[in-house]
Amino acid sequence: MSLEITEAQTSTGEGTAVYEPFQVIGLDQVSDVDIRVRVTGGGHTSQVYAVRQAIAKSIVAYYQKYVDEHSKNLLEQTLTQYDRTLLVADDRYLLRRHLSFAQPQSR
């Protein structure tokens, strides 16, 4: 298993978040899985967290398709206990600036 992360991300510490799903699950559980993630748009930090979530979701999908349902449920429970955002997206976003307001409003 090899992860290619840019030097800028690892020097700021952002790239280490990509490894979290593997640290929680354990590399022996996913040694036979090949994952490739391509991400565009957003900033560096949001891209790292998008990759992190994509990896966690893909491992759960792999367990659902190729391993038994009980193992998948245990894996989901383990990931959710560690950090819920590994499996559930944060749907908050900022609205555009309206003419009647001075600044963009949160939704």
pTM above 0.75, yes or no: no
Give the whole-angstrom CA distance, residue 88 versus residue 93. Answer: 15
Total number of residues shown for the chain? 107
Q: What is the pLDDT of residue 3?
A: 54
Q: What is the pLDDT of residue 106?
A: 60
- pLDDT per residue, tens digit, the chain (107 aa), is 455 555 445 555 667 888 899 989 988 888 888 888 888 888 888 888 999 999 999 999 999 999 999 999 999 999 999 988 889 887 777 666 666 666 656 65
Q: What is the pLDDT of residue 1?
A: 46
Q: What is the domain partition of the chain in residue ranges?
A: 7-86
- The CATH number of 7-86 is 3.30.230.10
Q: Which amino acid is at 28?
A: D
Phi-psi map region of 98: left, alpha, beta (phi>0 left; psi -120 to 50 alpha): beta
Give the whole-angstrom CA distance, residue 104 versus residue 107. Answer: 9
Q: Which helix (H) or strand (E) holds 63?
A: helix 44-66
